Amino acid sequence: MPHDSIRIGAFEVVPLCDARVPFAVDEAFPAELPEGWEPYREAFPWAFLGPVTWDYHVHAFAVRTSGPVLLIDTGIGVGAPEDWGGVTGSLAVELAIAGIELHDVEHVVHTHLHLDHIGGSTTDDGEPRFPFARHHVHRADWEDFLEADDPDDRAAFERSIRPLADRDMLDVTEDDHDVVPGVRVLHAPGHTRGHRAVLLGDDREALLVTGDALHHPFQASHPTWPSTHDADPGTGVSTRMALLERARRDRTTTCVPHFARPFGRVGPSGWTEG
């Protein structure tokens, strides 16, 4: 089921919980936290499944505007790796529950082209899921994933992005720009070379979608620690610090796709809910 939506200025943002996967937290984050994991288990029990397991959620986000419906990412689809336990995405069901018709989606912003952010772009038979949508991709990711070394990423690209390119449904650009008025893509490299964040709202109220600059709440307290999830860990650190500082300085509501509770804020000591 979708989480509760939130209102940001003129926009309604609906989180769509596409999938959840249990991962060993010490393998995903081989970090020796000086304070240990226990403070984070107490503060964010939703981020864990039992004593040793990370509760990894895959969210996409539907943005209702006064005009077109916009999506941020499209989840896993049918392309999860074997070691993810056979999970498949439920984007179409989540959209139906939210009352969003596939033909009403006019824009899809991909924060990056990893398989768990593009898999729902096509149906099981390889057809575009959103027949009237433009899909927005950073040029660096387009170039890198055309010939991705990782076989899972390469297969996901061929299954979920190539059919869109063949039908001229991709908008491949490098610049930061408004996809629709009030929804801006921001180059935020490190996790991938073309990774983007999304800023939506207005001067009075805004939401910052971090993409995969963050994966776990502890990273908001330790942004300078490199992440094994990033293609370029050093650049990832710089991006994470910049996004967190922006969110903290501007008191911006912040959204992290892989958090079980995706909305929160960045305080002086790290992540806070609500």
- Residue ranges per domain, the chain? 6-187
| Architecture label for domain 6-187 | 4-Layer Sandwich (3.60)
**Range 199-224 average pLDDT:** 95
| Residue 121 structure tokens | 């772009």
pLDDT mean over 52-75: 94
Location of structure tokens 């539907």: 62
Cα separation, 210 vs 145, whole angstroms: 21
pTM of this structure: 0.95
Where is 92: in which H helix or E strand? helix 91-97
pLDDT tens digits along 145-184: 998 989 999 999 999 999 999 999 999 999 999 999 999 9
pLDDT exceeding 70 applies to what percent of the chain? 99
| DSSP-assigned beta bridge partners for residue 246 | none
Mean pLDDT of 37-47: 93
* Residues 271/44, Cβ–Cβ less than 8 Å: yes
pLDDT at 50: 83
Lowest mean pLDDT among 14-18, 29-33, 52-56, 136-140: 29-33
The pLDDT of 238-256, averaged and rounded, is 97
Which stretch of DSSP H or E encloses residue 2? Answer: none
SS3 content of the chain, % helix, strand, coil (to 5): 30, 30, 40
- Beta-carbon neighbour count of residue 151 at 10 Å? 9
Strands 206-209 and 196-201: antiparallel
- What pLDDT shows up at residue 2? 54
Quote the tokens at residue 178: 């408004």
Per-residue pLDDT, averaged over 177-198, amounts to 97
- Pick 255 or 23 by higher pLDDT: 255
List the structure tokens of 150: 């990782």
CA–CA dist 217, 236 (Å, integer): 16
With a cut of 80, say whether residue 228 has pLDDT above it: yes
